[in-house]
Amino acid sequence: MAAAVVRSDSDALSETDTPLTRGVLAVVYAAAEMPLEDCKALMDGFQAAMARGLAGQESDLKMLPSFVTELPTGKEAGTVYALDLGGTNFRVLRVVLPGDGGEIKTEFRSFALQQCHMTGCGEADLFPFLASCIKETVEQLEGSLPGADEPLPLGFTFSFPTQQSALNQGTLISWTKGFCASKCVGCDVVAMLQKALNALGVHVVVKALANDTVGTLMALRPKEPNTSLGVIFGTGTNGCYVEQMSKIGKWTGGDVTSGRQCINIEWGNFGASVPSRKLLPVTRHDEALDTESLNKGEQILEKMIGGMYIGELVRRVFNAAADAGEIMSGRKERIEAGGLNTELASAIEASDAPGLVKILEQLGVPAPAASDAKALQKIAMAISGRGARVSACAIAAIVQHMERVGTPTVVGIDGSVFKCYTNFKARIEACMRDIFGDDALHIKLQLSEDGSGVGAAVIAATA
């Protein structure tokens, strides 16, 4: 029998629910449903936060100007390097832009950050390491290092909230996604990278700084001229879009010929303030995860959707349901911290019954009951399904803000959750159909492969 639990204040129950009779699983499954009226309320709150951010008022949504005011046409030409940093693995890319709208050629090297790079000193550990990886890649791919008279341009994809003051200047506002390297917040990350490159005598010039969402939008635009949003569903999550300059009330940067600019929303931070958190279907499991995170109280929406968190949430809910006696019939085994990542959560959703039993065995539950294995799958579906609905609401809110409902709109998307997570894309599309009906058919979610790196190179090429 399911044990009765007293809900925490934040469990996503409606007024009419009788919390004392609801168990862990019932609360989590209900939170995942997100009825249409909740989706619409979330969209309204999201749009209000966008408006405040654009006006320079206090808001969960930072609405950061990217200084990208011209959209690429495919005429950009040249060989440009890109550094794509946003998670534990990063890449250095060599991008050849043909200039005639033809195929862009990319080669890249991948590197892994060690814990010391993410949590040590930015100036002494992280940036010197990044510069050394750029040096190694350039040497390999060019055959030698460039001379001082022929420096190579580089676009820096830096996927963290950054306040830019120019295309090639930006200070880190705060770390996200488990990074906490010291002496970086409040510093110009372009200057730090350039200094580290100079120290190694590498003639590479950092021409542009771009968020991964902005790169993703830019990379797809020449192929898909209706691309108006760039989105990442990866380790973290975020979106950007093309805004009219007249709507960016806080802009003090002077005239912009095109009359528009790409805005990095930093949507992962929605829910940091109490009123917006109330619009998200958060449960006590989300709150516990947040409390134990490096950036407590921040990035609440991201912690419901990001690849860094989905698997961990599934684990927490499974264990909590077992603790409450709703599953596992009194068995004592629990899934260990760090044992269930998002890739595995996706595999759980795609598994048949024997596959599920095997996975639960790998997770430390020998000979599990079929019902417990099935419950694990249902929990994963609830957590990722909720993430997909919240994602759909964010995209829908932006499309509506842009007054593009019913107008063909392409959303350029990159990131492992979008590319690999079972049914994630289809669930976003289903929720957008709930919200917009047939008008949702005008919104195309399109993979922008390698968009984050290639886009930064495109931006650097025009700088």
Sites of contact with ligand GLC (CB under 6 A) = 86, 159-161, 176-177, 211-213, 232, 234, 236-238, 266, 268, 302
Whichever of 60 and 266 has its CB closer to ligand GLC, that residue is 266
- Do residues 12 and 31 make contact, with C-beta atoms less than 8 angstroms apart? yes
Query: Least Å distance between CB 265 and ligand GLC?
Result: 9
Query: Least Å distance between CB 86 and ligand GLC?
Result: 4
- Do residues 312 and 305 make contact, with C-beta atoms less than 8 angstroms apart? no
Query: Least Å distance between CB 231 and ligand GLC?
Result: 9
CA 355 to chain centre: 29
Whichever of 295 and 351 has its CB closer to ligand GLC, that residue is 295
Whichever of 53 and 161 has its CB closer to ligand GLC, that residue is 161
Whichever of 25 and 218 has its CB closer to ligand GLC, that residue is 218
Whichever of 417 and 458 has its CB closer to ligand GLC, that residue is 417
Query: Least Å distance between CB 277 and ligand GLC?
Result: 17
Cα gap 336→413, rounded to integer Å = 32
Q: What is the dihedral of CA 162, 164, 168, 169, to 10 degrees?
A: -80
- Do residues 402 and 228 make contact, with C-beta atoms less than 8 angstroms apart? yes
* Catalytic machinery residues: 177, 212
Cα gap 203→127, rounded to integer Å = 16
Whichever of 31 and 240 has its CB closer to ligand GLC, that residue is 240
Query: Least Å distance between CB 211 and ligand GLC?
Result: 5
Tokens of 229: 């949003």
Whichever of 348 and 459 has its CB closer to ligand GLC, that residue is 459
Say which amino acid occupies 190: V
Torsion sign (Cα): 416, 379, 386, 276: negative
Phi, psi dihedrals of residue 246, rounded to the nearest 5°: -65, -20
Tokens of 174: 């705060």
CA 65 to chain centre: 18
Neighbour order of strands in the sheet with 260-264: 64-65, 260-264, 237-244, 227-233, 409-414, 443-447
Query: Least Å distance between CB 250 and ligand GLC?
Result: 19
- Do residues 229 and 50 make contact, with C-beta atoms less than 8 angstroms apart? no
Query: Least Å distance between CB 373 and ligand GLC?
Result: 32
Cα gap 201→204, rounded to integer Å = 9
**N-terminal to C-terminal alpha carbon distance within the chain:** 64
From the list 397, 390, 395, the residue with the least C-alpha distance to 413 is 395
